Structure 1
Amino acid sequence: MTRPPHDDYVRNVEHFGVQLVLTPDEAQFVRAWSASGAPSSLPATASVRRGSSVTAMLVFQGCTPDVSGKCDVVANFSLLAPDGTLIPGGTGLLWSDEPMPGRLHLGNASMGVSFDVNDPVGQYKVIATVKDKVSGKKLSLGSALKVLE
């Protein structure tokens, strides 16, 4: 995966960590993940052409289980446009099952972003705020996304 410098697409606190991956093909990403449960090569991108789309996926580890043994992790997505406008992208349940110690999880929540031919070209930023509701740990991370002609 090629990433622009100074990107904050990976964050962690203690044993809780999250990585934001932008993919041009969500279905292929999920297939690759399912085939090996954290493959070394996933379809990722840092740019998109107008008329196309990307999906923000979250990979994480280290969620804290509650008394029933299940985690409760949520994600809130947004998109920062080149002009500074923050566009809400929605909130979703990232994980509500038992943790798998020592393994990475592909989160259940994602955000798809489509750009039509009239959207401005330039540097955008996909932002995700992930909260482990059991431990109270919260991580904010972002990934640069360049929109091309």
Structure 2
Amino acid sequence: MKQFQPGDVIEVKLPGGFAYVQITHNHPAYPEVIRALPGYYKKPPENILELASGQSVFTVMLPLFSAIERGMLEGRKVTSTKVPSSDSTFPTFRIPIRDRQGNVVYWWFWDGEGLNYDANPDAGSENMPLREITTTDTFIERLSATAPC
């Protein structure tokens, strides 16, 4: 399986502009872990390295290299730079466990190696990404919803 490498910054073409993402991690059993960088640009920004040093908008798992290779979305590697320390640790993903009515009974948390659970997680867990492989359509929607620059 081909993948981008941690640190790679990818320009993703969107309707009417561009968004930028950075690969933070590769996992042997999952696709690339990607952090979305702020902004939706009509033309490429002048300093992509500065953009990549900033905060993440969201984090997802997506087989980005494969999606580009197969033409499911248009993108290209534009540079590679160090992943900021805020995103250098493998993220903890959350997984809802639901009852028959669809109510969340408890949450599993996965850190790339092991699982643990919590029936009453603190509010900080709401910001953790869901452990799912994002579709390209959802990925494009989420990137398109970032603030225009």
- TM-score norm. by structure 2 comes to 0.25
The structure showing larger relative contact order (alpha-carbon pairs under 8 Å, at least 6 residues apart) is: 1
Structure richer in strand, relative to its length:
1
Greater share of helix: 2
